[in-house]
Amino acid sequence: MPSTLTESTDPYCLRRGEAAELLRRHPWRRFVALGDSVVEGMCEPTPGYPDVQWADRIAAELAAVRPELAYRNLGRRGLRAHQVRAEQLTPALAFEPDLALVVCGGNDAFHPAYDADAVDAELTVMIGALRDVGADVVTIGMFDVSYSPAVPEPLRAGLQERMRRLSAHTAQLAERLGTLHVHLTDHPLTVDPSMYSTDGRHGSARSDAVATAETLRRLSAHLPREPR
């Protein structure tokens, strides 16, 4: 990829004015984000891309259409799925959201003892509780970080199997529970080294820009089509 690539020229990012068009007349007024470091924001700066993390960017674009939008980011680095549920679900429900982003399980999948069924159970509780209070819930199949150059080669195959199992399980939950699911795991850029930070666990500012574009497009697809 040319070194001069920026968000404005990146074919996988939003075009000028696209976010406003995608979210035109969106109904959401209270947006909460639950999760681990992916939600808190640990993206590594990338020249040519804003140093603003993914959930905050989504909130900013929603607020550009509805300035009255209330937003709360509960994400905290290092948490496993059961900790996200234990620490964040109650305050998320108290916030009375009509839109919620739920991203966790990555820290579980980094361990060889990853228990997919246990993570599924935690996600099911969180998604169900948020749906019960009337929130639309966004779930994510994350970029496959096993392609990061910083991941040691002996660990790569095992990490890839677990990350893809997490993604497949989350997609199945999304279909069963009716979430707005954003599948990034098989995105064309998931194999691109520029998408990952040098710590081997997180993304770059480019990955957050691409994830923002894909998330806004998924939100837009959920909105009623305007009459002609």
DSSP H or E run through 137: strand 136-141
pLDDT in tens, 130-160: 999 999 999 999 999 999 999 999 999 999 9
HSE toward the beta carbon, residue 218, CA cutoff 13 A:
20
Residue 6 burial (10 A CB sphere; 0-12, 13-18, 19+)? middle
Q: What is the mean pLDDT of residues 98-102?
A: 98
- Give the C-alpha separation, 77 to 149, whole Å: 21
Region at 141 (left for phi over 0; alpha for psi -120 to 50; beta for the rest)? beta
56 within 8 A of 221, measured Cβ to Cβ: no
Domains of the chain listed by start with CATH number? 26-222 (3.40.50.1110)
Give the pLDDT of residue 1.
41
pLDDT in tens, 19-66: 999 999 999 999 999 999 999 988 889 999 999 999 999 999 999 999
Q: What is the pTM for the complete model shown?
A: 0.94
Q: Which residue has the higher pLDDT, 79 or 201?
A: 79
Q: What is the mean pLDDT of residues 72-88?
A: 97
C-alpha distances (whole Å) from 96 to each of 9, 70, 89, 131, 189 are 38, 10, 11, 11, 35
- Give the C-alpha separation, 103 to 137, whole Å: 10
Q: Which of 89, 81, 99, 95 is nearest to 137 (CA)?
A: 99
